[in-house]
Structure 1
Amino acid sequence: MSSLFSTRAIARARLCAQCRRTIVSSAVLQSGHNRWSKIRHQKGAADQKKTAQRSSFAKHLALYTKLYGPDPNMNTALAGVIAAAKKAGMPKANIDLAIARGQGRSSTGASLESAILEVMLPAPEPIALVIAIESDNKQRSLKDLRFIIKKFNGNVTPTAFLFERRGRSVLRNKSNGKKVDFDDVLMQALQAGADDVVEEAGAEDENGGNDVVIWTQPNVTHQVAQKLAEELDMEIASADIIWSATSDKVAVNDEEVAKTLGAMLVAARDYPDVQAIYANAEQGSVSDEIWDEVEENLDS
């Protein structure tokens, strides 16, 4: 009998030891899984921010090349962006490509063609997009982008009729601390040929001034921006001919729709020939965290 109890005790001890090993192993696996998920999420967010940052640098490199020429020794605005882009780790090849685009050519010297891809993202309320590209082979670029859009269930269909072309320039105070009166900007902008002038709320710079948005007809966008920047001793933060929605924007309230839109924008923005993406969407009840991915990859 004693031997039987001893055998049962040994069996129970072995079973308990096995249970403990199983529990410990499961906990380690679960902990590792969570840690990897967190790392992957953080890496994805960092990659998206890097893509948005490089896109912003590329736009400014092309803009200042177009406005003031490709030689950084003669173009202090371009030299400043090149230095900032290098410091942020932007590859030299990408910097050279952006400067070449500002001169209307590819890195190989071929002339660039402009084109747009019109897209509709199915949703409770469909979202219209216009993707602007510049390419030395626009048929290839359009084909590649159609494939990207299809992966996110987007439809290539006419949407440009929901937008209009407008010139939009943003001027801001220089770092010399000199502030410019908004009324002065308004009067001189209208005299220079602007359609409207808006002091951008929530864009206060380190000098205490607000960015000023100049709206113009597309064909005089850069001329008006340059003229005002010189007359008012301001700097040009951006100057683009944009696609502006002509009616009320679609409020995005569904988180899954917002996530799909954000992922599609990141994928499209990562394509080298994409210059800008416009949409008739705005943040509804979705969280700021989710909407940030959308906003970072849309152009105003």
Structure 2
Amino acid sequence: MALQISRLLRSPRGAAVCNACRGFGTSAALSSGHNKWSTIKHDKARNDKAKSKERQMVGKEISSATQLWGADTKYNPRLALALSNAKRASIPKAIIEAAIARGQGLSLSGQALESVTIEAMLPGGVAAVVECQTDQKARVLQDVRYMIKNGGGTVTPTTFLFEKKGRVAMEKKDGLNADDHLDQAIEAGATDIITDDKGRIVIFTDPSETKSVGEAFTKLSGLTIEELEIFWDPNPDTLVEVHDEEQVKDLEDLLGSLRDDHTVQDIYLNAAEKF
């Protein structure tokens, strides 16, 4: 024991200096580690939100292709492409299977799906229309409403801030111009026709006539339908800009949670910017 005490008391020269160096080094390492952790955490949050949005978009693409041309990839090249995109994006198998079933109007258990619309005001004063599909309507209403309230939103009527429309996007071909197909769109019963940012002809219709107008336009134009949907288009004079950083974060967090719910198919916002 005396020998151990003696060794402890007998510090080498310059020990104080070395200890000081170690103390300084430790402090810097802690600070650096904290900043690194903070950066990783924020990057992960951004990546998670991007993945949620990507999963929803790919799932919608699979469901749409299945709805239009069936679940057999031998006769549905659009579905084959969508499944290939899902594989490249590392979309989980359960999400892919659910999307194919949804395109047939069924749940994974084979039950018929029912559409559910939930209206809400989200952080930043952004109005939302949340479209779900489920075979358990009461449960989904409860779960999604709770998610909205827990994320700082309020469940309240908002569809009066939007207009429900049908949208049919045709396959892309070089040299396509909306003006060249205007007469055909009018004859088919479309309410508007544009060329989108992908170079595709897109026609808009009354929501109840989306499929019939799309098929009529296909016969007249010779173009193939690539996408077909009914959506909520925000009225231009009601668009909201969110500038507060805390509200932006709360809004993004809530949208990420909603998109992770497999029953949520689409979220329509009257935000001026995309989220």
What is the identity, as a one-letter code, of the residue corresponding to 1:263?
A: D
User: Does 2:192 match 1:216?
Assistant: no
Aligned 8 A contact 2:123 2:250 in 1: no
Give the secondary structure class of the aligned counterpart of 1:173: coil
DSSP 3-state at the match of 1:251: coil
Check conservation: 2:171, 2:200, Cα contact below 8 A: yes
Deviation at 1:212, TM superposition (A): 3.0
Q: Are the aligned partners of 2:177 and 2:195 in contact in 1 as well (CA < 8 Å)?
A: no
Tell me which amino acid in the other structure corresponds to 1:240. E
> Take 1:184 and 1:193, find their aligned partners in 2: how far apart are those partners?
16
After TM superposition, the score normalised by the length of structure 2 is 0.87
Query: Any idea what SS the aligned residue of 1:228 has?
Result: helix
Task: Determine if contact 2:120/2:155 at 8 Å carries over to the other structure.
Answer: yes
**Counterparts of 2:36 and 2:88, CA distance in 1:** 31
User: Cα 1:97–1:144, aligned 2, differ >3 Å: closer, same or farther?
Assistant: same
1:268 alignment partner in structure 2: 258
Match of 1:239, SS state, is: strand
The residue aligned with 2:166 is 167
Change (3 A) 1:117 1:162: same
Show the counterpart of 1:138.
137
Secondary structure of the residue aligned to 2:190 is coil
Which AA in structure 2 matches 1:280? N
Cα 1:118/1:261, change in 2 over 3 Å: same
The answer (yes or no) to whether the contact 1:167–1:217 under 8 Å persists in 2 is yes
Match of 1:63 in 2: 64
Residue 6 of structure 2: aligned partner: none
Q: Aligned residue for 1:288?
A: none
Provide the C-alpha distance between the structure 2 equivalents of 1:231 and 1:99, rounded to a whole number of angstroms: 30
Alignment match, 1:180: 176
Structure with more relative contact order (C-alpha pairs < 8 Å, separation 6 or more)? 2
Q: Hey, what's the Cα distance between the residues in 1 that align with 2:52 and 2:221? A: 33
- Which residue of the partner structure matches residue 128 of structure 2? 129
Find the residue that maps to 2:78 and give its secondary structure. Answer: helix
Partner of 1:77: 78
TM-aligned CA deviation for residue 12 of structure 1? 10
Flag structure 2 segments of 5+ consecutive residues without an equivalent.
1-10
- How far apart are the structure 2 equivalents of 1:38 and 1:32? 10
Superposed, which structure 2 residues align to 1:21-32 within 5 Å? Answer: 21-32=22-33
Offset of 1:50 from its aligned partner?
2.0
Distance 1:12 1:232 in 2: 92
Cα distance 1:110–1:33, how it changes in 2: closer, same or farther (>3 A)? Answer: same
- Deviation for aligned residue 1:171: 2.7
**Aligned-residue offset at 1:75:** 1.2
Map of 1:39 onto structure 2 = 40
Tell me the C-alpha RMSD between the 2 structures. Answer: 2.2
Check the 8 A contact 2:168/2:228 in 1, yes or no: yes
**Equivalent residues in 2 for 1:1-300, closer than 5 Å:** 13-123=14-124, 126-174=125-173, 178-200=174-196, 203=197, 205=198, 210-229=199-218, 231-246=220-235, 247-283=237-273, 294=275
Is the 8 Å Cα contact of residues 251 and 281 (structure 1) preserved in structure 2? yes
User: What amino acid does structure 2 have at the position aligned with 1:38?
Assistant: T
Cα distance in 2 between the residues matched to 1:256 and 1:42:
17
Judge conservation of contact 1:67–1:222 (CA < 8 Å) in 2.
Answer: no
Instruction: State the number of aligned residues.
Output: 264
With over 3 angstroms needed to count, the CA separation of the structure-2 counterparts of 1:172 and 1:251, relative to structure 1, is farther
Give unpaired runs (5+ residues) of structure 1.
1-9, 284-290, 295-300
1:19/1:194 Cα in 2 relative to 1: closer, same or farther (>3 Å)?
A: same
- For 1:197 and 1:68, the matched residues in 2 are separated by 24
Paired-residue identity, % = 39
CA contact (8 A) 1:149 1:155 kept: yes
Does the C-alpha gap of structure 1 residues 229 and 55 become closer, same or farther in structure 2, counting only changes over 3 Å? farther
Give, as a single letter, the amino acid of the residue that structure 1 aligns with 2:143.
D
> Is the alpha carbon distance of 1:225 and 1:139 closer, same or farther for their aligned partners in structure 2, counting shifts above 3 Å?
same
CA contact (8 A) 2:178 2:193 kept: no
SS of residue matched to 1:214: strand
